[in-house]
Amino acid sequence: MSAEPATIGVDPRSAPISPMLPLPYRVADRTVETRDSITLRLEPVDAAIAPFRPGQFTMLYRPGVGEVAISVSGDPSAGDGALIQTIRDVGAVSRALHHAVPGDLIGVRGPYGVGWDLDAAVGRDLLIVAGGVGLAPLRPVLLDALARRHLFGRVVLVAGARSPEEFLFRDQLDAWRATAGLEVEVTIDRPSPGWSGLVGFVTEPLARLALDPRQTTAFLCGPEPMMRFSATVLLARGVQARDIRVSLERNMKCGIGLCGHCQLGPLLVCRDGPVIDYAHAHPLLATREL
């Protein structure tokens, strides 16, 4: 169980400024995504945290339980101060957040970490590859790219899940498939009754996708094996490691590079990541037990 930070009931206008002090947000809406994942809309009670960049995360605090790092899954251009956070029930803190209902108070710190840096890909083709809940951290970069569609070449989304019921944002996925200027491929790991789409891992559509490796920037998020195998396919097709970006997940406790819980080789993932290019990620992910 995570250690509890300061009480979220402190008035932020009178409290000392501290990166460890969460601001109070209220759950305004709760959407069930899958059997173990939900999306919360959090609205500030008073002061709001700074605007986030796609790929960044917050530290969410459930009073009496603890704190956990969660990627922001909302639209970076919304500008209304609300946070959209998609949470999978995998532990004590995430379970408590998963069970939050409208009206509950949640403490929020952040935003933290290095984002996807979509600005560096202006003028290039974008390839967004999501495995399972990896679509949540990638949703902001896709929404940002669509909002500035004229700045990019092709925009391709490849999303995979274990079964049709495991896809996040299913209604939006349907809308994206009908969006002009966006190519979408979805696939499931194994055959499922009623499914007429692609079957197989995301590496299979990646292997046959027409792309210009010199013009492509790839954004990968999902389980580490999925990211490694997807990167291997892209490298074999000529995409440079520096043009492949992955989002890493490690046990984050402070979010600001103090505690060292998220160390990965020379990196502190909360400070130096979670997004890093594959030129730096490859030797780390290839080393067992790092």
Asked if 66 and 138 sit in the same domain, the reply is: no
Asked if 136 and 229 sit in the same domain, the reply is: yes
What pLDDT does residue 10 have? 47
Task: Give 276's strand partners.
Answer: 246
- Split into its structural domains, the chain has a count of 2
Residue for token digits 């070449």? 153
Task: Give 246's strand partners.
Answer: 220, 276
**How far is Cα 114 from Cα 126, in angstroms, rounded to an integer?**
18
Task: Assess if residue 8 is contained within a domain.
Answer: no
Task: Assess if residue 204 is contained within a domain.
Answer: yes
Asked if 32 and 158 sit in the same domain, the reply is: no
Task: Assess if residue 257 is contained within a domain.
Answer: yes
Asked if 201 and 262 sit in the same domain, the reply is: yes
Could you state, in chain order, the average pLDDT of each consecutive group of 10 residues for the chain (290 residues)?
Answer: 48 60 97 97 96 97 96 93 96 96 97 96 98 97 97 98 96 94 95 92 95 98 95 97 95 91 92 96 81
The residue out of 85, 112, 139 marking a domain boundary is 112
The residue out of 112, 128, 162 marking a domain boundary is 112
- Cα four-point dihedral sign 5, 9, 11, 12: positive
Asked if 97 and 141 sit in the same domain, the reply is: no
What pLDDT does residue 19 have? 81
Asked if 47 and 82 sit in the same domain, the reply is: yes
**How far is Cα 237 from Cα 258, in angstroms, rounded to an integer?**
39
Task: Assess if residue 102 is contained within a domain.
Answer: yes
What pLDDT does residue 154 have? 97
Q: In 210-225, which positions are buried (b, 16+ CB within 10 angstroms) versus exposed (e)?
A: ebeeeebbbbbbbeee
The CATH number assigned to the domain holding 106 equals: 2.40.30.10
**How far is Cα 22 from Cα 109, in angstroms, rounded to an integer?**
5
The residue out of 112, 135, 166 marking a domain boundary is 112
Task: Assess if residue 6 is contained within a domain.
Answer: no
pTM of the model: 0.91
Rounded to 5°, angle at Cα 56 from 63 and 109: 30
What pLDDT does residue 289 have? 63
The CATH number assigned to the domain holding 143 equals: 3.40.50.80
Task: Assess if residue 241 is contained within a domain.
Answer: yes
Asked if 40 and 122 sit in the same domain, the reply is: no
Asked if 123 and 92 sit in the same domain, the reply is: no
